[in-house]
Amino acid sequence: MSESQPVQDQYNLEIRGDAAVLTLNRPERLNALTWELMRELHDRLDEIREDSSIRLLVLTGAGRGFCSGLDIMRDNPLGGEDSVLQVLERQELVANLAVKVRKLPIPVIAAVNGPATGAGFALSLASDIRLCTPEAKFSAAFVRIGISACDVGVSYLLPRIVGHGAASEIMLTGNLVDAGWAERIGLVSRVVDGDVVEAALEFGRDITRNSPFGVRMTKEVLAMSVDAPSMEAAVEMENRTQVLCTRTEDMAEAVAAFKEKREAEFGYR
């Protein structure tokens, strides 16, 4: 594949039952992001959000990498002679991609099969769960190219996942975090030998067997509770969510299935 690879070939979206698998497909560049590709990904994520039949998203990369961030060999992230407004618009394009992943109402699993650096690191952090292969490596690489490591939401997400101390080490040094270190500090849930996408889909089935509304509310309230000013504030959100859940058909079916010792059959969310 060449630098002129059509944008529609730079990714692949596959529907597998109630799960979508979104694969970045620029393996010769370790799936580095182009501006055109990011615009396409925004559109695909919008479509996934609106499709009520999709209950899980798996993000991964083709070949031996997850995503090496912006393609700085092709696109100048610093803008060159471009105006401040043009550079800001592109900065918002990549940053909002991570925000959009995080705000999807369905769980997102990053199946990290190799380097996840820069914006690729941010996309993995924006996912709810990260699985990786032994070959995976993570890095807040921005600091290595003369800009701040605080970019694309990393300064918000990383310390909430691994704590302030480990986040400081990763972000201030720009050093690569290998799979073993990532697992020890809780950056990934587990290291997978074999097909990490299949492992992510299998992992996801433990999520999607639960009620669509219950899973959605769990993701939403968990994200809110991380920044709640007090336990009391978190409990107030939980109380209202639980009452709301009791009014759904999902709960009625889940309780009936439990009593009848069978698998629940849920409608779309």
pLDDT per position as a tens digit, 96-147: 999 999 999 999 999 999 999 999 999 999 999 999 999 999 999 889 888 9
Six token digits for residue 81: 């002679």
Q: Where are the alpha helices (DSSP H) in 111-266?
A: 119-126, 154-162, 164-173, 179-184, 196-208, 212-226, 231-246, 249-260
pLDDT per position as a tens digit, 190-200: 999 999 999 99
Give burial (CB, 10 Å; 0-12/13-18/19+) of 178: middle
177 forms beta bridges with: 138
Rounded Cα distance between 269 and 251, Å, is 12
Q: Where are the alpha helices (DSSP H) in 62-173?
A: 84-103, 119-126, 154-162, 164-173
Mean pLDDT (whole number) for 205-233: 96
pLDDT value of residue 149: 96
Mean pLDDT (whole number) for 3-32: 93
Provide, rounded to the nearest whole percent, the portion of the chain with pLDDT above 90: 88
1 confidence band (pLDDT: 50, 70, 90)? very low
pLDDT per position as a tens digit, 148-185: 999 999 999 999 999 999 999 999 999 999 999 999 99
Provide, rounded to the nearest whole percent, the portion of the chain with pLDDT above 70: 95
Dihedral of alpha carbons 156, 170, 165, 128, sign: positive
Residue 2: pLDDT above 50?
Answer: no
77 confidence band (pLDDT: 50, 70, 90)? low
CA atoms within a 13 Å half-sphere pointing along the CA-CB vector of 160: 17
Q: How many residues does the chain have?
A: 269
pLDDT value of residue 206: 96
116 — phi, psi (to 5°)? -130, 95
Residue 31: pLDDT above 80?
Answer: yes
Give burial (CB, 10 Å; 0-12/13-18/19+) of 176: middle
Domain boundaries along the sequence of the chain: 7-208, 212-260
Mean pLDDT (whole number) for 56-72: 95
Strand order in the sheet with 115-117: 115-117, 137-139, 177-178
At the top level of CATH, which class does the domain 7-208 belong to? alpha beta
Mean pLDDT (whole number) for 80-105: 93
Residue 254: pLDDT above 60?
Answer: yes
Rounded Cα distance between 121 and 67, Å, is 7
